Amino acid sequence: QVQLQESGPGLVKPSQTLSLTCTVSGGSITTNGYYWSWIRQPPGKGLEWIGYITYSGSTYYSPSLKSRTSISRDTSKKQFTLQLSSVTPEDTAVYYCTRIPSSSWYGPSSTRYDYWGQGTQVTVSS
């Protein structure tokens, strides 16, 4: 059973960089055929896909967030990390790390994620 757990600060000041780490247990982030994604849900809004890193280390980001987003990984620790720079209060959201089989990926509106972390609240405020 794969489990994902987000960690990172719950409060970030405007203009700073948000950094969250997802630790994976029960599986490997280098297993062929999976994309490891970050998704967020602002208060009162729907889910928003941020980006993913593949089993081979390739990355793909939402066009609307691409200029501020970086996703990296540490395979030895089975972790992948989200960095979102120049945050504003509009980046306040619950952030989730997830896994999706590459065969289920058809774009940012994909829904067939098979594992999710519990989510972590990040508030951007001074």
Q: What angle do CA 37, 38, 44 make, to 5 degrees?
A: 135
Question: Mind listing the pLDDT tens digit for each residue in 55-78?
Answer: 999 999 999 999 999 999 999 999
CB 61 within 8 A of CB 50: yes
Q: List, for residues 87-120, the tens digit of each pLDDT value.
A: 999 999 999 999 999 999 998 888 899 999 999 9
Distance between CA atoms of residues 1 and 5, nearest Å: 13
Residue count of the chain: 126
Q: What is the pLDDT at residue 45? A: 97
Q: Residues 6 or more apart from 95 whose CB is under 8 A from it?
A: 6, 20, 38, 39, 40, 50, 82, 119, 120, 121, 122
The pLDDT of residue 109:
87
